[in-house]
């Protein structure tokens, strides 16, 4: 009975791990598709951002020093949270704007439109970079967990279950042998009793 319950437990564990592996594989493929899509979009956004940087430099001259002197803290910040997929915690990163844009109306006289466009394009690029970092981190984490889960599934399927089945088969054959021996012994005893009764008559 103990071996049968062990076999049932191993089969149930195998089924659960297989379902987990399937759920992780689905999420893995979805993330892979999003990574490809985001990288393609990232190329376009970075081209646009580089072009708007050239436009802004042409319109306003070199503004690096002005920006460095006036900016005291980052407006775009990142927060992280966890997403649970089949018992696996995946880190998710999100960008958000901290407070209002204090320089929204700055520099409107000298190339202000180009600066606003430049800022908007680079904010979009940062948002995409954060999204891409989140996707790639989840991708690497899932890849590792899928490999471990598949190793466990294979170990249960190809090592543990066959070992338990062989042990069960051995126990059953031994019990059958004992039963045959017991039957033979009882038959001998009955035969001896019959012979003894026949002699008494």
Residues in CB range of 171: below 8 A, 6 or more apart? 3
Average pLDDT over every residue of 37-47:
92
Average pLDDT over every residue of 9-34:
91
Over the stretch 27-39, which tens digit does the pLDDT of each residue have? 999 999 999 999 9
The pLDDT, as a whole number, for residue 68 is 64
pLDDT at 115 over 80: no
What secondary structure does DSSP assign to the chain, as a single string? Answer: -HHHHHHHHHHHHHHHHHHHHHHHHHHHHHHHHHHHHHHHHHHHHHHHHHHHHHHHHHHH---HHHHHHH--S-SEEEEEEEEEETTEEEEEEEEEE-S--TTTTTT-TTTHHHHHHHHHHHHHHHHHHHHHHHHHHHHHHHHHHHHHHHHHHHHIIIIIHHHHHHHHHHHHHHHHHHHHHHHHHHHHHHHHHHHHHHHH-
pLDDT at 75 over 90: no
pLDDT at 103 over 70: no
Residues of the chain with pLDDT > 70, as a percent, come to 88
Distance CA 146, CA 138 (A): 12
Q: 139 falls in which pLDDT band (50, 70, 90)? A: very high
Look at 46 and 196; give whichever has higher pLDDT.
46
Average pLDDT over every residue of 123-149:
93
Look at 57 and 92; give whichever has higher pLDDT.
92
Over the stretch 161-190, which tens digit does the pLDDT of each residue have? 999 999 989 988 999 999 999 888 888 888
Look at 60 and 178; give whichever has higher pLDDT.
178
Distance CA 79, CA 75 (A): 13
pLDDT at 157 over 80: yes
The pLDDT, as a whole number, for residue 105 is 47
Which letter, b or e, does each residue of 94-111 get, where b requires 16 or more Cβ atoms within 10 Å of its Cβ? ebeeeeeeeeeeebeeeb
């Amino acid at each position: 009975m103990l071996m049968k319950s062990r076999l049932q437990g191993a089969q149930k564990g195998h089924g659960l791990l297989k379902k987990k592996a399937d759920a992780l594989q689905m999420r893995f493929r979805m993330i892979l598709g999003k990574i490809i899509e985001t990288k393609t979009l990232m190329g376009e956004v970075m081209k646009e951002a580089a072009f708007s940087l050239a436009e802004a430099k042409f319109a306003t001259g070199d503004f690096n020093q002005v920006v460095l002197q006036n900016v005291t803290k980052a407006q775009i910040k990142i927060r992280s949270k966890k997403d649970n997929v089949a018992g696996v915690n995946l880190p998710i990163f999100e960008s958000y704007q901290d407070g209002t844009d204090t320089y929204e109306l700055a520099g409107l006289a000298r190339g202000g439109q180009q600066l606003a466009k430049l800022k908007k394009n680079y904010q979009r690029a940062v948002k995409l970079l954060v999204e891409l970092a989140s996707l790639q981190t989840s991708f690497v984490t899932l890849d590792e967990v899928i490999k471990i889960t598949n190793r466990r599934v294979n170990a249960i399927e190809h090592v543990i279950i066959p070992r338990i089945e062989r042990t069960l088969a051995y126990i059953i054959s031994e019990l059958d042998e004992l039963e045959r021996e017991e039957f033979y012994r009882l038959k001998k005893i009955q035969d001896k009793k019959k012979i003894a009764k026949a002699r008494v008559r």
